[in-house]
Amino acid sequence: MDAKADAAVLSAAARPRLSARWATLLVLAVVIATIPWFFPSGFYFRVAALVWVTALAAVGLQILMGQAGQVSLGHAGFVGIGAYAMALGPKYLGLDVLLCLPLGAALAGVIAFLVGRPILKLKGHYLAVATLGFGMLVTMVLVSEVGITGGPDGIRVPRAEILGWRIRGSETFYWIAGGALLIGTWIALNLQDSPSGRALAALHDSEVAARTIGIDVAAYKLRAFVIAAVYGAVAGGLLALMNGFVTPDAAGFIASVEYVTMVVIGGLASVPGAVVGAALLVLLPQALTVFHDYEHAVLGLLIMLFMIFLRVGIVPGLAALLRRRA
Amino acid sequence: MNAALPPRGAPLLRAEGIGISFGGLRALDGVGFEARAGEVLAVIGPNGAGKTTLFNIVTGLYRAGSGRILLDGANVTEAPPHHLAAAGLSRTFQNLQVFFRMTALENVMAGRHLREGSGLLADLFRLPRTRRDNEATRQAAMALLDWVGLADKAEIPAGSLPYGALKRLEIARAMATDPRVLMLDEPAAGCNPVETEEIDHLIAEVAARGVAVVLIEHDMKLVMRISRHVVVLNQGRLLAAGTPAEVRNNPAVIAAYLGTHGAAEASRGSARDNARGSARDDARGSARDDPRGDAHA
């Protein structure tokens, strides 16, 4: 009964028609373009840029978890790969740092392809544990290979330069991150309303039925996994560029769990939900500092309340409420 | 679109000597059948006879322990389900396997997967190819929804459709693959007489298009009315095969359905009067309702 109610809310709220797709992108673009007007200081550019970059990683995970229905507790592993590529590529291979952004994304894609093939045969909890293992593996390597990665202390990322212009400053990164998120959201929405997206949604609901209508379930799961990894790596690369520094925390278990929380709390079935979830999880800790020692407890409590009262997620849940009102 | 279907009566799907064991239990042993273009073949048998297991093997969900499966002459015994679907084999499920989070229309659109060739990159960047695919798929799916009488439910999430509608939705989705062989696992189970009749019409129309239909069904009236051949399974073995009339009069079949006591009664009954009986079972019930022999005239 609940599953049915959820199904009604989900598919009505989150499956975009042409207009809904553009409306989502338009709203996002307007938000990105206008909120700097309200920033009291430069510090807010930094926080907001962090929101956009984190949201980009979350949108990637939404493709895997929300659209294809495959859980990953190792998403941050790919973010870490993208981030460290920005530091290690220039340092050891003498590559331009900007070139390392697509290279890191490609590397993450290849690793996802190799890792995904065996572990995506697993389902549910087993897949969760396998992806968890992958994330831990990445963190372990980053922490232990002190000579190469700098270990727990992290490593410096060189400043990027285009034709002699040094990319720096919070405001610049704000626009870069916002642009990247817009493109990432556009691609995720495209996918959702396409033959490939329908194949993912189909295998999400019934693998058996998906196979009997001709969908190569293993291949499509792997595609979703690789796409999610590339999103994560691009976000990680931008994050590294922004901070000028990376530590293994970027790839850590806590980060992976936070990405999952963002996607679930925003609304698994919803691409913009991932953005809202990311914004919430980046901004809430900042806002909750007034609670001092109880900051994390309050954050946990809020997450629980969101899940209890908006089980389908913030964006689909609120959309359903608005429709009922209208 | 689909290649021209072979002439009516041409053998399309052939299963030979199919056997499978589940942990020492011989679930199927030496079972076979042949489905022909434009004809309905019914697979019947008591619960646990192995009917759905046979379907699962033929559609590639289980791997046969022995035997082989020929689809249009090609050996497809080891082929995975999505290859079989591409080769023209489609099915529905006894326990619904609808995509509950998708709308009715999207369910059928998903069934057009094999007819879409846009590719992942085009889908990610919404190239014109993808837009053309989306449009063609939407139209084909709407036509199929209209055919099963669900056009007005197109935008409704499958999860909130009534049971009878879901049964028809599954048929529409299976037909969206342009199959040459359609396998229906209890398409009318749990449906009321009106819904059963609607499904009856749909199956007849599918067969009339030249598709080979293989049907598992417990509603014997439906079986006798629309099938040209019947295969009877019992405890994993082939009990009888033939026309509905032949099968209905087969003492072994009656025994399997009614037990030995019933069989003795049935044979006494049929010795006295071919058409009378105590109607203790569907098979007997239909035997009374349908005058013999004209079910598949």
Residue B177 · residue B146 · CB < 8 Å: no
Contact: A214, B114; criterion CB under 8 Å: yes
How many domains in chain B? 2
Residue B140 pLDDT: 97
Residues B73 and B105 in one domain: no
pLDDT at B255 over 80: yes
A190 in reach of chain B (CB within 8 A): yes
Q: Is position B59 within any domain?
A: no
Contact: A198, B106; criterion CB under 8 Å: yes
Residue B268 pLDDT: 54
Segment A222-240, tens digit of pLDDT: 999 999 999 999 999 999 9
Contact: A269, B101; criterion CB under 8 Å: yes
Distance from CA of B104 to the nearest CA of A (A): 10
B20 in reach of chain A (CB within 8 A): no
Contact: A206, B130; criterion CB under 8 Å: no
Query: Whole-angstrom Cα distance, residue B233 to residue B257?
Result: 11
Residues B107 and B146 in one domain: yes
Contact: B99, A227; criterion CB under 8 Å: no
pLDDT at B238 over 70: yes
Residue A59 · residue A181 · CB < 8 Å: yes
The interface pTM score, or ipTM, of the predicted complex is 0.89
Residues B111 and B173 in one domain: yes
Residue B35 · residue B219 · CB < 8 Å: no
B87 in reach of chain A (CB within 8 A): no
| Domain residue spans of chain A | 43-252
Contacts A–B by Cβ distance under 8 A: 136
Residues B73 and B135 in one domain: no
Q: Strand, helix or coil at A1?
A: coil
Residue A270 · residue A315 · CB < 8 Å: yes
Instruction: Return the residue of B nearest to A184 by Cα.
Output: B124
When pLDDT is cut at 50, 70 and 90, the band that residue A100 belongs to is: very high
**From its phi and psi, is residue A46 left (phi > 0), alpha (psi between -120 and 50) or beta?**
alpha
**From its phi and psi, is residue A323 left (phi > 0), alpha (psi between -120 and 50) or beta?**
alpha
Query: Whole-angstrom Cα distance, residue B63 to residue B56?
Result: 8
Task: Report the residue of A194, A217, A223 to disrupt the B interface, i.e. the one with the largest count of B CBs within 10 Å.
Answer: A194
Q: Write out the DSSP string of chain B.
A: -PPPPPPTT-EEEEEEEEEEEETTEEEEEEEEEEEETT-EEEEE-STTSSHHHHHHHHTTSS--SEEEEEETTEE-TT--HHHHHHTTEEE--SS----TTSBHHHHHHHTTGGG----HHHHHTT-HHHHHHHHHHHHHHHHHHHHTT-GGGTTSBGGGS-HHHHHHHHHHHHHTT--SEEEEESTTTT--HHHHHHHHHHHHHHHHTT-EEEEE-S-HHHHHHH-SEEEEEETTEEEEEE-HHHHHH-HHHHHHHHHHHHHHHHHHHHHH-TT-----SHHHHHHHHSPTTGGG-
Q: Which residue has the tokens 């690793």?
A: A111
Q: Give the lowest-confidence range in A229-233, A280-284, B219-223, B267-271.
A: B267-271
When pLDDT is cut at 50, 70 and 90, the band that residue A6 belongs to is: low
When pLDDT is cut at 50, 70 and 90, the band that residue B259 belongs to is: low
Q: Which amino acid is at B67?
A: G
Which chain A residues are within 8 Å of B184, Cβ to Cβ? none
Residue B286 pLDDT: 39
When pLDDT is cut at 50, 70 and 90, the band that residue B221 belongs to is: confident
B59 in reach of chain A (CB within 8 A): yes
Which chain B residues are within 8 Å of A18, Cβ to Cβ? none
Q: Is position B121 within any domain?
A: yes
Contact: A211, B159; criterion CB under 8 Å: no
Which chain A residues are within 8 Å of B99, Cβ to Cβ? 201-202, 204-206, 209
- State which residues form the domain around B119: 100-179
Distance from CA of A184 to the nearest CA of B (A): 10
Segment A139-176, tens digit of pLDDT: 999 999 999 999 999 999 999 888 777 878 889 999 99
Residues B71 and B138 in one domain: no
Contact: B102, A11; criterion CB under 8 Å: yes
Q: Give the lowest-confidence range in A191-200, B78-87, B191-200.
A: B191-200
Strands (E), A43-193: 155-156, 161-162, 165-166
Nearest to A60 by CA among A315, A252, A266, A275: A275
pLDDT at A85 over 80: yes
Taking the CA atoms of A296, A144, A130 and A316 in sequence, report the sign of the dihedral they define.
Answer: positive
List all residues of chain A from 98 to 157 with a beta carbon under 8 Å from chain B.
Answer: none
When pLDDT is cut at 50, 70 and 90, the band that residue A18 belongs to is: low
Q: Is position B257 within any domain?
A: no
Distance from CA of A178 to the nearest CA of B (A): 19
**DSSP symbol at A86:** H
Contact: A206, B111; criterion CB under 8 Å: no
Residues B106 and B75 in one domain: no
Q: pTM score, two decimals?
A: 0.88
Helix crossing, A217-243 with A170-192: angle to 10°?
170
Residue B281 pLDDT: 39
